Structure formats: C-alpha cells, structure tokens
Amino acid sequence: MAIIPHNPFMKPIPPQDSIPRKHRQRSNSSTAIQAMATKNSRKPCNYFSVPDSLHAFLNSGQTETALHLFHSMKTLDPLLWNIMIKGYVQNGFFHEAIEFYYQMQSNGVIPDHFTYPFVLKACARLSNIAEGKKVHCKLVKTGLDTALFVANSLITMYCKCKEMHAGELVFDEMPERDIVSWNSLIAGYASNAYGHEALLCLGEMQLFGFEPDRFTLLCALPASTLDKSRGRKGC
C-alpha cells in the first residue's frame, strides 16, 4: 500500500483502513498516480494536472487512487474538494460524499455553489431529509440558497424526500427560474402522485414562456393518469 505523505495543513480524513471495502481497488494506487503524473509531465505546472487526474480516476471508479492523490496535495483548494465530493456521488458513495463535505469545513475550506448541489444530491439519494434540512440551513446563512443551481437541487432533494411543500416554498422564493426549476417541480409532483399539480405546473410554465423539453414531457405524460390532488393553486 502506498504511504501518503503527511500534510501539516490538513486535518485527517478517514484513514484507509476505515474506508468501506467497496472503495478498495486491487490496483496499485501509487503506480496509477505516477503513471498519470508522467502522462501530464509536459504541462508547465504539475498542479494544473491534478484536477484532471482526479476526474480521470473518479470517472473510472478508482476512488482509492483519487483519495491517495488528494491526500498528497498540500493545498486547501475548494476545487479539489468539490471534485472528490462529486466523484463520490457519481460512484454511489453518498455517505462518504456527505462526510467529505463536513471534513471540508473542519479543514477551513468554505463550500461554494459548486459544492452544494452534489451534497444535496447525496442527501436525496439517501432520502435523508434531516441532513438535507441541515444543509439548507447552512445555505440560508451563507446566502447561497437562492443561487439558481443550488435552489434547483434543493427542490429535487425535497421532492425525492417526499417533502413537496418545502420544495414548493423553495420554488416560490426563487428570484429567477430556468427550465430545470420547472422540470424539478413537475417531476416532484409526478413522482409523488400529484398528477393534477404536475399538469397545472406544466401549463403555468408555458405561460411564463418556457417551452417543455423532452424531460418535461417524460414527467408530465405519466402525471396525466394520476388523479390525486393536493389542491395547490398554480406554481
């Protein structure tokens, strides 16, 4: 097993023996890192190859190798933390993504609007409404709760956790919306068997000048067969 250089600037992230067995690959992480470094050795500054290397490892499911590389960096750049959190989510390690989010803060790195959508996605996939609400409170304190991408993720998180009223409130308080905002709410209504509200939202979306796309129709068509109504008047 490769020895990770001690980083005096970083508080410890869960040690290798505490990482779930599903994280561990049989390949030699050190060799993989060296190979990637050699491949990118012609770049003017090696640091700039690190994000690309992390992406490559995580995209191929090599989470252990990515973690080794992350540990070896003497930086608290939020970009690298965001890449790791995103990678954990994409590989289905939702608990680990949330843990990394907290480790990020304990090391003095401030999450940004790129961090939160993936943390919220992890909460949604775990149906962990309690954790999702804690993240929402943090967003309100930092003023990022109304950022477009973040608010869209909040809507999806609440809808997947079957908290439709909370999702509606987020939608109603958004200073601006895009097609993803409308689709997120329509999908939430449809997945929670509120077909009437989904169709109302579809109509109102068009009144606001948004044309349905393929995803909208995929959500709205099943909604037309549902007759359960919560009595919400518009979106």
Per-residue DSSP letter, 176? S
Query: Is the pTM of the predicted complex or chain greater than 0.85?
Result: no
Q: Tell me: the pLDDT tens digits for 208-230?
A: 999 999 999 888 887 777 655 55
Q: Tell me: the pLDDT tens digits for 180-212?
A: 999 999 999 999 999 999 999 999 999 999 999
Tokens 């009595």, residue located: 231
In three-state secondary structure terms, 115 is: coil
Q: Among 106, 105, 86, which Cα is nearest to 96's?
A: 86
Return d(Cα 192, Cα 173) in angstroms, integer: 21
Return d(Cα 189, Cα 234) in angstroms, integer: 12
The band of 102, judged by pLDDT with boundaries at 50, 70 and 90, is very high
Q: Tell me: the pLDDT tens digits for 143-169?
A: 999 999 999 999 999 999 999 999 999
For residues 154 and 168, is the Cβ–Cβ distance under 8 A? no
